[in-house]
């Protein structure tokens, strides 16, 4: 069973790993045996500390995905220099901007598209030739319930996450035959920084909770099982799939 789900010796890159879901998944990947390259614009010391505490190994890379080409060069170069290979990429970094569609600014639109969609494509494009050479690889994109639904006052986020779901399928169609599994995870409502505004809004918070069959917001650690599954050989025949980890939200 450990061979099926274990990640011993694998090299995993994960973006947006300084907090929230990304930090939890980074620690989970390390616990499963992967050497983890943690990438973020913010300080990564806490993530490193958590990984080291559980006996794992990691390399921190500070990069701003708004500076997309230089960041990607840095991520690939430093990963290969430190660990010599790339087996797993988790495109987790994401941002949110809330405003009614009629007054939504160009800047907010472009920012969200850049981090949530373009960086996902460009980073996937950069690791794919290395995975092709290996004859295998795992790319996991963080989608959202808003890959399927429209949400309120988040037009760019919904468009970007709809795009992530379609991009996941498009890349999977081209790369599955190379041994590269491209899949996604669609989290439900997770109690992280990204949702501070929703959690603080009593009415929205109550409406959201009433709709979640599991009866609670997700915690970042709820995503560890899913990412290990999609990063491991247990998911070798899963291609272009978006797995909802949402406490049952999409079933209602």
- What residues make contact with ligand NAD under the rule CB under 6 A? 15-16, 18-22, 40-42, 63-66, 92-95, 115, 142, 144, 187, 189-190, 192-195
Which CB atom, from 79 or from 192, has the smaller least distance to ligand NAD? Answer: 192
**Cβ atoms of 18 and 43 closer than 8 Å:** yes
Catalytic residues: 157
Least distance (Å) between residue 178 CB and ligand NAD = 25
Which CB atom, from 177 or from 210, has the smaller least distance to ligand NAD? Answer: 210
Strands 137-142 and 11-15: unpaired
Least distance (Å) between residue 237 CB and ligand NAD = 25
Least distance (Å) between residue 187 CB and ligand NAD = 4
Sheet containing strand 57-62, strands side by side = 57-62, 35-40, 11-15, 88-91, 137-142, 180-187, 242-245
**Cβ atoms of 222 and 159 closer than 8 Å:** no
Measured torsion, CA atoms of residues 139, 140, 142, 143, in degrees rounded to the nearest 10: 90
Least distance (Å) between residue 133 CB and ligand NAD = 27
Which CB atom, from 14 or from 180, has the smaller least distance to ligand NAD? Answer: 14
Q: Which of 25, 23, 31 is nearest to 5 (CA)?
A: 31
Q: What are phi and psi of 10, to 5 degrees?
A: -80, 150
Which CB atom, from 201 or from 236, has the smaller least distance to ligand NAD? Answer: 201
**Cβ atoms of 164 and 141 closer than 8 Å:** yes
Instruction: Show the tokens assigned to 189.
Output: 């409502």
**Cβ atoms of 140 and 89 closer than 8 Å:** yes
């Amino acid at each position: 069973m450990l061979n099926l789900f274990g990640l011993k010796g694998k090299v995993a890159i994960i973006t947006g790993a300084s907090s929230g879901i990304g930090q939890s998944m980074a620690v989970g990947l390390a616990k499963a045996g992967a050497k983890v390259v943690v990438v973020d614009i913010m300080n990564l010391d806490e993530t490193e500390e958590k990984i080291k505490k559980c006996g794992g190994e990691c390399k921190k890379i500070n990069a701003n995905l708004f500076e997309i080409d230089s960041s990607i060069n840095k991520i690939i170069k430093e990963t290969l220099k430190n660990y010599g290979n790339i087996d797993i990429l988790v495109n987790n970094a994401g941002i949110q901007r809330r405003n009614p569609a009629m007054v939504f600014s160009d800047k907010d639109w472009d920012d969200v598209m850049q981090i949530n969609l373009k960086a996902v494509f460009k980073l996937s494009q950069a690791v794919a030739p290395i995975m092709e050479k290996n004859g295998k690889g795992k790319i996991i994109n963080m989608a959202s319930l808003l890959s399927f639904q429209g949400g309120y006052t988040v037009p760019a986020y919904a468009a970007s996450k709809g795009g992530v779901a379609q991009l996941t399928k498009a890349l999977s169609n081209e790369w599955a035959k190379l041994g590269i599994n491209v899949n996604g995870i669609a989290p439900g409502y997770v109690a992280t920084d990204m949702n501070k505004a929703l959690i603080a809004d009593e009415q929205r918070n109550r409406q959201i909770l009433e709709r979640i069959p599991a009866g609670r917001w997700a915690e970042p650690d709820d995503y560890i099982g899913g990412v290990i599954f999609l990063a491991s050989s247990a998911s070798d025949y899963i291609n272009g799939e978006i797995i909802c980890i949402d406490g049952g939200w999409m079933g209602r």
